Amino acid sequence: MITSLSTIPKNTTPNPAPPTINTTPTSNQPTPTHTLRQINTTTQKKQTKKEKKMTTNNQNYDTPKSTTHTDSFGFCIITTYNANKQKIKETHYKPNGTIGFIEEHNPITGNISKLTSYHPNGAVQIITHYDPITNHETKYITYRTDGAIQSIVNYDPNSGKKINSIYYNSNNSLNYINEHDPQTHNLAKTTWYNPDGFLYCIEKFNPKTPWEERICTLYFSQTTPAEKQHAQKIQHSAFQEYQTTLQEQQLALQLYQSLKPTKTHITHTRSGNQHNK
């Protein structure tokens, strides 16, 4: 039985209370024969200088590797392109120079594939994944200011409707899991867990109504073996999601540090719209 998911400093942000008690290609060509000749080094040097000039002047690019501009909210936005001149990332800096959020784009469709926002202290706040074709959200992860994971919501990439949502206590234990009906997408079941990881109760809802119409509440002793087994199965999935989300959080923090601007950078980007190599 899973009792704790990881060790992250305690946060006092409250979680929703349970129903009755408080639970915290290359080609192969023959090599041609060449005659050795003396190279004109003077001409070669001139060509090298010319080539260097062409590669360091952004006006010679149809699309520069990155562009910088400031929006109406005072955010400095740096847009990054790949070698094929396709947009792959947008970094939005707040007026004070800190990163507000980062958009990662699918180079083929141009749609956002991931959006990561940060707390003022640099901690990850929200990570949202999008389907590159439908552009619907597929996963929405929220973090507390101390780094603890608060919730994970999964969506159907085709419809954009909720599949399930997982909520964690500030001490990293599993709080409860919402499951939505695959047809109506309305809330169908909420499974609550004790802080020690054991099943507390299962709430069942009418999936035909858009509001949360509770049908019944089954406490541990009232649940069937199949219901207990299902509760343990989704608990295990929640644990795996938690571990994956922690790894994703570390990558987001590394990205933040790699893009964190210096004071010189902040002054430069505030001076006006720029085109960068």
- Residue 36 inside a domain? The answer is no
Q: 163 and 253 share a domain?
A: yes
C-alpha distances in Å from residue 26, one per residue of 30, 31, 203 = 13, 14, 61
Q: How many CB atoms lie within 10 A of CB 228?
A: 14
Number of domains in the chain: 2
Instruction: Tell me: do 77 and 168 sit in the same domain.
Output: no
pLDDT (tens digit per residue) in 99-149: 999 999 999 999 999 999 999 999 999 999 999 999 999 999 999 999 999
Residue 33: inside a domain, yes or no?
Answer: no
Q: Residue 275's pLDDT is what?
A: 46
d(CA 207, CA 116) in angstroms, rounded, equals: 32
pLDDT of the residue at 203: 98
* pLDDT tens digits along 145-157: 999 999 999 999 9
> What pLDDT was estimated at residue 17?
54
Measured distance CA(149)–CA(251) in Å, rounded: 15
Q: Is residue 108, in this structure, part of any structural domain at all? A: yes
199 is a domain residue = yes
**What's the pLDDT score for residue 43?**
46
DSSP-based three-state secondary structure for 15: coil
- Does a structural domain hold residue 152? no
Verify that 124 and 176 share a domain, yes or no. no
Q: Give me Rg for the CA atoms of the chain.
A: 27
Q: What is the mean pLDDT of each run of 10 residues along the chain (277 residues)?
A: 44 49 44 41 44 36 74 91 94 93 95 96 97 96 96 97 97 96 96 96 96 96 97 97 96 92 51 48
Q: Are 162 and 237 in the same domain?
A: yes
**Residues making up the chain, counted from first to last:** 277
Model pLDDT, residue 259: 87
Q: Residue 206: what pLDDT?
A: 97
162 and 111 in a common domain? no
Residue 266 pLDDT: 54
Q: Say if residue 101 is in the same domain as residue 164.
A: no
Structural domain for 219, as ranges: 158-258
